[in-house]
Structure 1
């Protein structure tokens, strides 16, 4: 259906946000040499419908780096070609523990040498486990049922599970080291459920080898769990090297059960002016805008608003 004049003007204005803002991706600053990136999971339905067209829109907004969550049926070489065509590059990829994990798409930890080759083809440097996942193997047991973790009466993962996960990350990190790659772990809010005097994320941080394993802090999920990102960055300097810049509404209840009220960055309760300076000095050097569904309008518009807000912050203009 053709757009009316008002819709055309709105769409044009949003697409011009990236072009009208300073080219932080080129100048470095708070965002590092990669600039502000975007986690493509936020645009997943759009990418399924039109991979090349959506990547072009991402680039026109002013993003240059992306983090991949799905290969969308493409090989690593085909995905790299699509990114190159759009003028985008990938340094980080979310990788499922195994092809047996529900929703696994393309890249898994099943074959470390194949994974290393594919990530090298993509130009990536980091293979991030996006969620507590275990392959179907006798030593791991059956995969964790997500449905139980989403219930308010669901039991948290045990300390033993997190210890197994830490071993898995260490082994994966060691295997990928020969390819010049590192392994990361991305948190949700489940990892903050108390387990005695600790949390699951603490167990992972303390039992993984810093020379092999990094962490990607998802600020939205961390705050959803009732925790302070600044406190975690200061307690574990150098362990969080990537960040998902994600906001949540004030209405989001504190919980550990994968429940969240998402909103564009800058439209929620998170104090980015306090978090980003600490992130910069504690070792975070890649930042990816992300937003979970539901969306109130086109997803690409939400990414544009988040990017515009981040570029308007004092720290992005050399403040703080």
Structure 2
């Protein structure tokens, strides 16, 4: 893979709250060389210092705070932690993804944030859950209609697991969204809402086909709720994904 595997730090949020530095060290010890934070406003300079010491780059950051705080503050924090990619991970009402008018409003919001991001040297992305996939608008998954309405500079981070839960043929969806997808959340499990996730490679997701459908996308491992020890699952995920690269 051309870029190192990343970890969405929401995966280890409980450990992170107890001891940030030790948690980042364990992520690095599992073989990861990049991370994706979910709260760039939490001590960005301190975070950057620890990440640098551990050899961890920042592949991007989730920032629901963009919808709650002054966007400039979030963009400045992103720069401080060492990334130029800020991703809206949720926060737009689910109902907006059930109609073309709602998708238009969602696109206007994201396009406006992207304009502000550009003034700070930052790029804006959007990350899906199942509620952008389940609704069909004009015969397509809502995320596809949204993509048509987004400004060219807005990229997508497709959560492959939630796309599958929402009913998508994930490799086919990625093929149709080619050119908009810059990152993938790679996760695994039974593909059932409410059930915990497993290490990547230990569940029902067609991981090799998914990765082949978006070969240039950054791969970010995330386990929202884990059925086993989360650090062991992260290590197993890293081993599996790197083995695919070498096969």
Contact 2:157 2:183 in 1 (8 A): yes
How far does residue 248 in structure 1 lie from its aligned partner after superposition? 2.0
Contact 1:224 1:260 in 2 (8 A): no
CA distance in 2, matches of 1:98, 1:279: 27
Q: How many residues align?
A: 246
How far does residue 180 in structure 1 lie from its aligned partner after superposition? 2.1
1:81-139 alpha-carbon deviations (Å, 9 max, x no partner): 22123221212010115564xxxxxxxxx3233222211111112110101x24xxxxx
Match of 2:179 in 1: 238
Match of 2:64 in 1: 96
CA distance in 2, matches of 1:194, 1:111: 33
CA distance in 2, matches of 1:260, 1:208: 32
> Quick one: which of 9, 12, 25 aligns to 1:40?
9
Contact 1:163 1:203 in 2 (8 A): no
> Quick one: which of 288, 299, 312 aligns to 2:220?
288
SS at match of 2:60: strand
> Quick one: which of 123, 138, 141 aligns to 1:199?
141
Contact 2:126 2:155 in 1 (8 A): yes
CA distance in 1, matches of 2:67, 2:131: 22
Match of 1:111 in 2: 70
CA distance in 1, matches of 2:144, 2:151: 13
Gap change, CA 1:162 and 1:242, over 3 Å in 2? same
Match of 1:171 in 2: 112
Gap change, CA 1:168 and 1:97, over 3 Å in 2? farther
How far does residue 261 in structure 1 lie from its aligned partner after superposition? 4.4
**Is the aligned partner of 1:305 residue 2:246?**
no
Match of 1:54 in 2: 23
> Quick one: which of 39, 42, 55 aligns to 1:74?
42
TM-score under structure 2 normalisation?
A: 0.91
Gap change, CA 1:260 and 1:239, over 3 Å in 2? farther
**Is the aligned partner of 1:226 residue 2:167?**
yes
1:245-302 alpha-carbon deviations (Å, 9 max, x no partner): 11121xx44xxxx64542210011112222212211xx41x11111111x23321111
CA distance in 1, matches of 2:25, 2:202: 26
SS at match of 1:216: strand
CA distance in 1, matches of 2:35, 2:53: 14
1:221-251 alpha-carbon deviations (Å, 9 max, x no partner): 11112212211222121100001111121xx
Stretches of structure 2 that go unaligned for 5 or more consecutive residues are: none
Larger Rg: 1
Contact 1:248 1:263 in 2 (8 A): yes
Gap change, CA 1:242 and 1:99, over 3 Å in 2? closer
Contact 2:66 2:74 in 1 (8 A): no
Q: CA RMSD in A?
A: 2.1
Stretches of structure 1 that go unaligned for 5 or more consecutive residues are: 1-29, 101-109, 135-143, 150-154
CA distance in 2, matches of 1:97, 1:207: 23
TM-score under structure 1 normalisation?
A: 0.71
CA distance in 1, matches of 2:188, 2:170: 12
